[in-house]
Amino acid sequence: MKAPKKNFNLKKENVCSIVITFKTNTKTFKNILRLHNENFTHTIIVNNTREINLSNFQSNQVTLINNPSNLGLASALNIGILEAKKYGFDMVALFDQDTLLPEDFSQKMLNNINSLQIDEKIALFSPIYFNQVTKLYGSIINFKLFRLIRTKPNPGVITNPQYVITSGSFIPISVLDDIGMMLDDLFIDFVDIEWCLRAYASGYKIISYPKIVISHNLGDSCLTIFGLSYPIHSPLRMYYYFRNALFLYRSKNIDWNWRLIDASRNLFRFLFYMIFVEDRKTYFRYIIMGYYHGLIKKMGKLKE
C-alpha cells in the first residue's frame, strides 16, 4: 500500500500574517496587532483608509501598506499576498481587522498542518469562528444536489467544508500560484466563496479544524426571529452581496449546483430583508441596484 504523503514542515517564520484594515479604531486595533505579533514573526497591514494614520504600528515585525483609497477587500488581500511573496514566505494567513486570535493560535494551526498525512491537494487550512454579533459558532458548509448542508462543528472531527470565511485562512503560496489570486472585481463579499469554489473546481480540498476557534464579527447587528439569530448587514453590503452573487451565477467556472442553491436562498434572503429588517426602502433600492449591476457586469467599487 502506498504510504500517505506528509505535505508540510512549516515553522512560524514561514508564515506571514496579512491584515486588511478599513476605518479601523486604532485603540482597538492595538490589541489586535499585539495578538498578531505574538502569533507571527511578521505581519503585513494593508490599510484601505488613507485618512487613518497607522504609521505608529510599523516596526521590524510589521509592514504597513497604505492604499491611496479604499480598493476593496479582494484587491487589498492581493496586495498583501504579493508583498508576502517578495519576502519569500511559504504561506499566508489572512485576516480582517476585527478578528481576535488566541495567543497560541498560529502554533496550533501549524501543529495540525504539519501533522497532516494526506495524498490530496489542499487549498487552505481554516479554524472555525465564533461570531460576536450573533453569539454563535460558524457552521461547516457543504452542498449536495440542490441542498446546502450546515453542520455544527464537532471539536473532535476535522472537516472538509466547501468554503470558509477569509479571516483565519492559511493558504500556501504555491496554491495561490496555481489557482490564482482573489477576484478584484468583487471588491467585497463572495471573495472567499468564489476563491474556495475555484479551488474546489481545480481538485483542491479545504481542511477545517473545529478545535481551533477565532473570534470574529460577522454582520453589523443581530436580529432574532422565532428563536433563531441572523446577522444583519448594511444596505451597501447587501448591494455587493446581491450584485456579486448574480455575477457568479453567470460564471461558467462556478459549480452549477452551488449556483442553483444560492439563487434560491437569495430569494428568501431578499424576502427576509423586505419583511423583517427596518428601512426596507433603502434595502430594496440597494438590492435591486445590485441585481442590475450584476446583470450588466458593472463591477468594482460602487460609485454613489
| Number of domains within the chain | 2
Residues 184 and 255 in one domain: no
Instruction: Look at phi and psi of residue 9 and say left if phi exceeds 0, alpha if psi is from -120 to 50, else beta.
Output: beta
Q: Which residue has the higher pLDDT, 4 or 159?
A: 159
**Amino acid sitting at position 32:** I
**Amino acid sitting at position 153:** P
Rounded Cα–Cα distance for residues 172 and 42 (Å): 16
* Domain C-terminal end among 216, 251, 277: 216
Helix (H), strand (E) at residue 283: helix 280-296
55-88 as b/e: b if 16+ CB within 10 A: eebeeeebbbbebeebbbbbbbbbbbbebbeeee
Whether 3 maps to a domain, the answer reads: no
14, 79, 167, 242, 298 from 67: Cα distances, Å: 26, 9, 20, 26, 22
Query: What tens digit of pLDDT does each residue of 188-204 get?
Result: 999 999 999 999 999 99
Query: What tens digit of pLDDT does each residue of 218-234 get?
Result: 999 999 998 889 999 99
- Of 92, 102, 82, the closest CA to residue 39 belongs to 102
Query: What tens digit of pLDDT does each residue of 129-179 get?
Result: 999 999 999 999 998 888 889 999 999 899 999 999 999 999 999 999 999
Rounded Cα–Cα distance for residues 46 and 51 (Å): 13
Under a CB-based contact definition with an 8 Å cutoff, are residues 21 and 46 in contact? yes
For the whole model, what pTM was predicted? Answer: 0.94
Q: Using N-to-C axis directions, what is the helix angle for 235-249 and 256-276, rounded to 10°?
A: 150
33, 68, 73, 286 from 274: Cα distances, Å: 39, 36, 27, 12
* pLDDT in the model for residue 6: 56
User: Does residue 117 register a pLDDT over 90?
Assistant: no
For residue 26, give its domain range. 12-216
Residues 171 and 242 in one domain: no
Residues 78 and 172 in one domain: yes
User: Does residue 2 register a pLDDT over 60?
Assistant: no
Cell of 148: 446546502
Rounded Cα–Cα distance for residues 203 and 197 (Å): 10
Residues 54 and 108 in one domain: yes
Rounded Cα–Cα distance for residues 163 and 30 (Å): 30
What CATH number has the domain bearing residue 175? 3.90.550.60
Residues 63 and 207 in one domain: yes
Residues 201 and 240 in one domain: no
Residues 262 and 208 in one domain: no
Residues 142 and 282 in one domain: no
Residues 36 and 153 in one domain: yes
Whole-number mean pLDDT of the chain?
94
User: Does residue 5 register a pLDDT over 90?
Assistant: no
Residues 73 and 170 in one domain: yes
Rounded Cα–Cα distance for residues 274 and 300 (Å): 26
Handedness of CA 244, 133, 137, 117 (dihedral sign): positive
